[in-house]
Amino acid sequence: MEERIDLHAHSTWSDGTRDVAELFADARAAGLDVLALTDHDTVAGWAELPGAVAASGVAAVPGIEVSAEHEQLSVHVLALLVDPGPGTELAGEMARACASRDRRARTMVDRLAADHPISWEGVQEQVADPTTVIGRPHIADALVAAGVVPDRSSAFAELLSPSGPYYVRYEAPTPVDAVRLILAAGGVPVIAHPGSVSREGMLPVELLEEMITAGLAGIEVGHREHEPDERRRLAELARSHDLLVTGGSDYHGTGKPNRLGENLTQPDVLAAITHRATSTTEVIRP
């Protein structure tokens, strides 16, 4: 049978609700053969991959989901099989982004605390490890725990929305710089869910073309937030630029409705990704 490969998932090291071992146990239960760990802006979970692979029998593709920003649009780029650093420029940029995210989260919590019963301590209680970088999903969890909203999605709909009064931005590289830094670190850059970066729909096609010129290797066409029309458009764009087409669930445990394996990547695409990577990071097989 053809290998079932899911190239996008989060653990508790970012905003997933399952730790790395649980994530790979879930992957096994979902019938996956290969899963990429792509936590937001961190490689903290990579150390746990060999153990999780051995216990689950599911192979791991070490990765990062790099947060970039273009004119206030949040753009995510998957960095697959990248050098984890700390010596790379990408690692330096991730460290800067994490410091900026920490300041930003504290400011958002201060603003929210003026009107709602939440505190920085309450937010910290939502993460498994104190070094976890706090994002809006953890603030959402604290709002749920305090009974302010029923679930994460409700928190995002209003209180945490970029158009709301509590939102604070954080520093992130431009999408083109993200692509360059990932390539320089020997990784394979794949734009994540380009059809869902903003409420208005797909990110500007000129931006995507600049990213392609900078060396973007692939497009995550298979993603729950892409309608069939969007998938056709993105697949055609990938074909015309000779880019790889990937698919992933963007699983966050119970933090999002996404189910492991709901979008998959073809085995020949994973082979091409492995071939493209120039770092020493490899797929970890059981």
Instruction: Give the containing element (helix H, strand E) for 152.
Output: helix 152-157
- Rounded distance between C-alpha atoms, residue 65 and residue 67, angstroms: 6
Please, what is the minimum distance in Å from the beta carbon of residue 121 to Zn ion? 27
> Does residue number 220 form part of the binding site for Zn ion (CB under 5 A)?
no
> Does residue number 256 form part of the binding site for ligand AMP (CB under 6 A)?
yes
Write out the two tokens for 224: 């729950």
The footprint of Fe ion on residues 75-134 (CB under 5 A) is: 76
Residue nearest to Fe ion (CB): 76
Q: What is the Cα 69 distance to its own chain's centre?
A: 14
In the list Zn ion, ligand AMP, Fe ion, none, the entry touching 136 (Cβ below 5 to 8 angstroms by class) is ligand AMP
> Does residue number 15 form part of the binding site for ligand AMP (CB under 6 A)?
yes
Interface residue with Fe ion among 4, 11, 15, 78 (CB under 5 A) is: 15
CA distances for 268 relative to 21, 193, 247, 252, 272, angstroms: 27, 21, 13, 26, 6
Cβ proximity of 105 and 139 under 8 Å: yes
The footprint of ligand AMP on residues 138-197 (CB under 6 A) is: 152-153, 156
How many CB atoms are closer than 10 A to CB 166?
20
Which residues have CB under 8 Å from 61's CB, separation 6+? 7, 34, 35, 36, 37, 80, 81, 270, 273, 283, 284
Angle (CA) 205-211-213 rounded to 5° is 105
Name the amino acid, one letter, at 71.
E
> Does residue number 18 form part of the binding site for ligand AMP (CB under 6 A)?
no
In the list ligand AMP, Fe ion, Zn ion, none, the entry touching 256 (Cβ below 5 to 8 angstroms by class) is ligand AMP
**Contact window for ligand AMP (CB under 6 A) among 81-89, 113-121, 132-140, 270-278:** 132-140
> Does residue number 250 form part of the binding site for Zn ion (CB under 5 A)?
yes
Q: Is 218 or 255 the residue whose CB approaches ligand AMP more closely?
A: 255
> Does residue number 152 form part of the binding site for Fe ion (CB under 5 A)?
no
Please, what is the minimum distance in Å from the beta carbon of residue 252 to ligand AMP? 6
Residues near Zn ion (CB under 5 A) are 65, 250
Residues near Fe ion (CB under 5 A) are 15, 76, 192
